[in-house]
Amino acid sequence: TALYDCIVIGAGIQGSCTAYQLAKNQQKTLLLEQFVLPHSRGSSHGQTRVIRKTYEEDFYVQMMHESYELWAQLEREAGVELHRRTGLLVMGPENGEGFSRLKATMQRHKIPTVFLEKQEFSQHIPNVNLADGNGALIDTFAGVLYADRALRAVQVNKRMFQSCGGVIKDGEKVIDIRPGAEVTVTTDSGVYRGRSLVITAGPWANTLLTHTGLQLPLKVVKINVCYWKEKIPGTYSVGQSFPCFIAMEPKEGEYDIYGLPSNEYPGLMKVSDRRDAAFKRTGLIKAMAWWLTLWCSVSGLTCVILDYRSPKNENSVIIYSKFGPIIGKLLSQLAMGQVPSYDLSPFRIQRFQSHARSSL
């Protein structure tokens, strides 16, 4: 069996970006995917996602600066448009902790933001009501990321992963991982050896981690993706510069509703939510899909895991995250034994120590 510098398990956006970064750095890289590509059973499919710098946490904002640059670089390399700037409208309880923290972070990082007073709101965002007691801001750099296109660009564009010498094997499910100085990965149709291993298995992370003896406190949740008929046809579309939006919940820890201007299907805005009850309440007209994704359930927070080199499994990187190319870059740095370009302490598995059932 051939020896790879790195084997990446999972060809969602994170694994694909990681594999691409590795191949670009002359690492002999194998990307393994259980389903035949393209598939719609993980977290990365679908036409669009929101991209933004509007996060409460400083470390996310810092990473997003570079993430935008890397998406732009990918656009140039692949020769396709991946990002469309629309702005992001955030509405939330004016004096609520979450909204205040967000506002403060935006100001601290000097993110181009428009803070809207109640009386000027309708001038900027016609045809939307700002609830009493809610504040509003617009992250003017945010926008729509063309997710399917991005995935296709990284995986199959001839100038990208495969032309850098990367190998993709899809329709091969990993069924065993043997750690060691060299990692041995067994799929349902082959055995592969790697000097290092990256696991980017999204909702299947814990199933795969069973083979390494590590179990993390992860919870897989379904997200409702619905399409909302425009109330006044033509006014909520990308073409009309309607922004992406987030409606923050008054209670800390409750899931926010967010959406994108109509774009994928004419006259239909895309809205995502994780609460079935809220969907029924808001009367969304057309439930198009159920997708599966993975979130960490610790303290009710959605969070990223980036970690590697546990004592028994020195050459593995484990990940759950969003942010595409920046995570790909960080994971490739970890896999190559380089010092990561950001402080990864907020992302370590160690923070779950009291929760993790780990034998590592």
Ligand X SMILES: Cc1cc2nc3c(=O)[nH]c(=O)nc-3n(C[C@H](O)[C@H](O)[C@H](O)COP(=O)(O)OP(=O)(O)OC[C@H]3O[C@@H](n4cnc5c(N)ncnc54)[C@H](O)[C@@H]3O)c2cc1C
Binding site for ligand X (CB under 6 A): 9-15, 32-35, 42-44, 49-50, 173-174, 200-204, 208, 223, 225, 272, 291, 293, 320, 322
CA–CA dist 162, 169 (Å, integer): 11
Chain centroid to CA 79: 22
Q: How far is the CB of 74 from ligand X (least distance, A)?
A: 15
Q: How far is the CB of 342 from ligand X (least distance, A)?
A: 17
Q: How far is the CB of 7 from ligand X (least distance, A)?
A: 10
Among residues 121 and 323, whose Cβ is nearest to ligand X? 323
How far apart, in Å, are the Cα atoms of 165 and each of 24, 25, 162, 168?
Answer: 8, 10, 5, 10
Among residues 33 and 307, whose Cβ is nearest to ligand X? 33
Q: How far is the CB of 153 from ligand X (least distance, A)?
A: 15
CA–CA dist 42, 44 (Å, integer): 6
Among residues 201 and 238, whose Cβ is nearest to ligand X? 201
Secondary structure (3-state) at 296: strand
Q: How far is the CB of 133 from ligand X (least distance, A)?
A: 26
Choose among 5, 105, 8, 6: nearest CA to 54. 105
Q: Return the HEC string of 125-158.
A: CCCCCCCCCEEEEEECCCEEEEHHHHHHHHHHCC
Among residues 141 and 320, whose Cβ is nearest to ligand X? 320
What residue is closest to ligand X based on CB? 12
Residue 120: which H helix or E strand, with range? helix 118-124
Q: How far is the CB of 203 from ligand X (least distance, A)?
A: 6
Among residues 58 and 188, whose Cβ is nearest to ligand X? 188
Among residues 43 and 121, whose Cβ is nearest to ligand X? 43
Among residues 233 and 348, whose Cβ is nearest to ligand X? 348
* 81 neighbors 146 (Cβ within 8 angstroms): yes
Q: How far is the CB of 23 from ligand X (least distance, A)?
A: 17
Secondary structure (3-state) at 341: coil
Choose among 119, 114, 105: nearest CA to 64. 105
CA–CA dist 40, 5 (Å, integer): 29
How far apart, in Å, are the Cα atoms of 69 and each of 63, 65, 189?
Answer: 10, 7, 38
Among residues 90 and 121, whose Cβ is nearest to ligand X? 90
Q: Which amino acid would we find at residue 55?
A: Y
Residue 209: φ, ψ to 5°: -65, -20
- Number of other residues whose CB lies within 10 A of the CB of residue 230: 18
How far apart, in Å, are the Cα atoms of 274 and each of 40, 161, 214, 292?
Answer: 19, 34, 27, 11
Q: How far is the CB of 111 from ligand X (least distance, A)?
A: 16
